[in-house]
Structure 1
Amino acid sequence: MAGVSARPWTRPHDWAEVVLGAVLALSPIWMDTDNAAMWTMIVLGALIAVDGLVSLARPGLIYGEGLQVVLGALAFISPWVMTYTGLTGAAWTSWIVGGLTVLVGAAALPVANSVHRTAGQH
């Protein structure tokens, strides 16, 4: 597992993060939002996608998955914090994408740790 996972641009967890971030960032195009919801979704989505791209390019970096979990948690709580729970589509998108981002990040932690340890042995 570590040999395949150590190659750049091959880890499915990180590709999922890129897709989830892109969906969150672009979703204000097709759903109703207010200013706070729109910018929260764009910024958090872009940060999630960029973190995924960095993790894809540099699979030995261990911080990426931890950051992914934090960003996913922020996306999940953002409808309450930024008060857009009344915007059903935007709120549910944030909750679903945030929850999936946390799950994918948590699932990727063992893979990233393995890659990090293997990279340190070379």
Structure 2
Amino acid sequence: MFSVSRAEHTVTVVLGLIAAFSPIWVAHSNRALWTLVVLGVLIALAGLAQIAKMATGMVGYALGVLGVLMFISPWVMNFHSYSGASWVAWIVGVLTVVVALAEMPEVSGRFGAAAHH
């Protein structure tokens, strides 16, 4: 069965893969390459761990942190002048945080309660 939770985990894996493989099609520096690959792989692995049910509830919080790190990486790692790599980092970062927030029990419980009324 493909539940909303499983869909969120799949989106997480896809976001990570997009970030990890994006240096193939966007202009980048060496710092941008390694930042996108490392953070992208970590995001994808977290999603795979959730799909395989090997993850605990802390993975959602870790995904939130990884999303924030991805979002701020163009400035921290000084590749903001590479617009393609920067946009990938910003979009993947924001979407990862959104997915992480949606997976948190406090948020998903509220949506579940609202749907039953």
1:46 aligns with 2:41: yes
Deviant stretches of 4+, over 6 Å: 111-114
**Unaligned stretches of 5+ residues in structure 2:** 110-117
Between the two structures, name the one with larger relative contact order (CA 8 Å, sep ≥ 6): 1
Is the 2:71–2:90 contact (alpha carbons within 8 Å) kept by the matching residues of 1? yes
Which residue of 17, 31, 44 corresponds with 1:36? 31
Match of 2:113 in 1: none
1:96 Cα deviation (Å)? 0.4
Cα distance 1:54–1:111, how it changes in 2: closer, same or farther (>3 A)?
A: farther
Distance in 1, matches of 2:34 and 2:21, equals 11
Q: What stretches of structure 1 of length at least 5 have no aligned partner?
A: 115-122
For 2:55 and 2:36, locate their aligned partners in 1 and report how far apart those are by CA, in whole Å. Answer: 28
CA distance in 1, matches of 2:107, 2:47: 12
The change in CA–CA distance for 1:60 and 1:24 in structure 2 (over 3 A counts) is closer
For the residues of structure 1 that align with 2:106 and 2:84, how far apart are their CA atoms? 33
| Alpha-carbon distance in structure 2 between the residues aligned to 1:110 and 1:90 | 32
Partner residue, 1:105 = 100
Q: Identity percentage over the alignment?
A: 45
Q: What do you get for the CA RMSD once the two structures are aligned?
A: 2.1
Cα pair distance change 1:60/1:46, threshold 3 Å:
closer
Do structure 1's residue 19 and structure 2's residue 14 form an aligned pair? yes
Per-residue CA deviation, residues 11-59 of structure 1 (Å, 9 max, x unaligned), is: 1111110000000000001111010000000000000000000011117
TM-score w.r.t. structure 1 length?
Answer: 0.81
